Amino acid sequence: LGVIESFKVNFNYNRLGYRQHIAFMRPPKETDNIQFFEDLKSIPEIERIWQQLDGSFTFIIFSKDAKHLEDINIELLKIGVALTGRSEVRMHLPADIPFSLLDWRIIYYLFNNSRAAISDIASDLDVSQKTISRRLKRFGNMKLVQYTPVINFEAITGISTAVASFETVGPSKGIYKKIKEEGSIKYWRIGGSISPSIVLFLYGKNITDLYSMYTTLTTRREIKRSRLSIIVKNWENSSLIKDTISEKI
């Protein structure tokens, strides 16, 4: 069903021919934030987007080369956005780590099967359990694979997700209790409440719904500063990365 898309698999993107960048930008004043996020969702090379407390945005870009990155910049300019900064992320893995065909088959299997037992992986790939166990241990030592299921909330319920962070005037515990008792904000859960801050996970039918809940909270006099992180994709840019891995096998 695609509810749990995969284990979160971290690997050297350079081995796949991709460069990973953290980009910074400030949206144009005349652009509505809701439409802004919708426009960014249409660019497949962009992964996740965070709105900072100062109103600027941070997100991750995957590109194959300088020309590809320039094409992405052009797409951003079309929606009225220019980057204010960019830094490349390099994985802490040696570039010459040899990955065999079996390694790539296992990685691809993990992308498509959640909570898979070693016996299931071995059976489906027609390899001994001892071999699978040894390869997975190697991946773990390399920090190539993190065994954390990545859950696609949109596939489960058809909703969108976001993380809202608030700095409060005074202790946050009492403010959080007020929000909870009022019941004016639905479809959310606490992500943390460490004075003087509150972190909430928001769930809505669409980005407009999420932004409405967020702005309702920002109007409270107890809120000093706030930040909204729209989760544009709930896993690691799977359509782009998965296709590249599939080419290896």
Q: Is residue 121 pLDDT above 80, yes or no?
A: yes
Average pLDDT for the chain = 71
Q: How far apart are CA 247 and CA 36, in angstroms?
A: 33
Provide the pLDDT for residue 54: 61
Q: Is residue 69 pLDDT above 70, yes or no?
A: yes
If pLDDT is split at 50, 70 and 90, which confidence band does 128 have?
A: very high
Tell me whether strands 188-192 and 197-204 are parallel, antiparallel or unpaired.
antiparallel
* Terminal C-alpha separation, the chain: 23
Provide the pLDDT for residue 149: 47
The residue-averaged pLDDT of 42-69 equals 75
Which among 230, 202, 204, 239 is positioned nearest to 49, based on CA atoms? 230
Could you tell me what percent of the chain has a pLDDT over 90? 4
Say if residues 109 and 125 touch (Cβ distance below 8 Å). yes
Q: Is residue 212 pLDDT above 80, yes or no?
A: yes
Q: Is the torsion defined by CA of 224, 202, 238, 103 positive or negative?
A: positive
Coil, helix or strand at residue 153: helix
155-231 maps to CATH 3.30.70.920: yes
Output DSSP code: residue 57.
E
105 or 95: whose pLDDT is higher? 105
Q: Is residue 135 pLDDT above 60, yes or no?
A: yes
223 or 8: whose pLDDT is higher? 223
Judge whether 10-92 and 155-231 match in fold: yes
Provide the pLDDT for residue 1: 33
Provide the pLDDT for residue 218: 86
Provide the pLDDT for residue 234: 46
7 or 138: whose pLDDT is higher? 138
Domain ranges of the chain: 10-92, 155-231
If pLDDT is split at 50, 70 and 90, which confidence band does 164 have?
A: confident
Provide the pLDDT for residue 15: 61
Measured from the Cβ of residue 53, the count of other Cβ atoms closer than 10 Å reads 13
Provide the pLDDT for residue 236: 43
Q: Which residues contact 157 (CB under 8 A, 6 or more apart)?
A: 203
Q: Is residue 137 pLDDT above 50, yes or no?
A: yes
Residue 19 region by backbone torsions, left for phi larger than 0, else alpha for psi between -120 and 50, else beta: beta
Buried b (16+ CB within 10 A) or exposed e, 110-146: bbebeebeeeebbeeeeeeeeebeebbeebeeeebbe
Which of 117-121, 130-134, 235-239, 245-249 comes out lowest in average pLDDT?
A: 235-239
Q: What order of strands is seen across the sheet that includes strand 83-89?
A: 46-51, 57-63, 19-25, 83-89
Quote the tokens at residue 231.
Answer: 């989760």
Q: How far is CA 207 from the centre of its chain?
A: 16
Which residues, listed in sequence order, are joined to residue 231 by a DSSP beta bridge? 161
Q: Is residue 186 pLDDT above 70, yes or no?
A: no
Could you say which architecture CATH assigns to the domain 10-92? 2-Layer Sandwich (3.30)
If pLDDT is split at 50, 70 and 90, which confidence band does 6 have?
A: very low
Quote the tokens at residue 20.
Answer: 């990973």
Q: How far apart are CA 102 and CA 139, in angstroms?
A: 12
Q: How far apart are CA 244 and CA 249, in angstroms?
A: 10
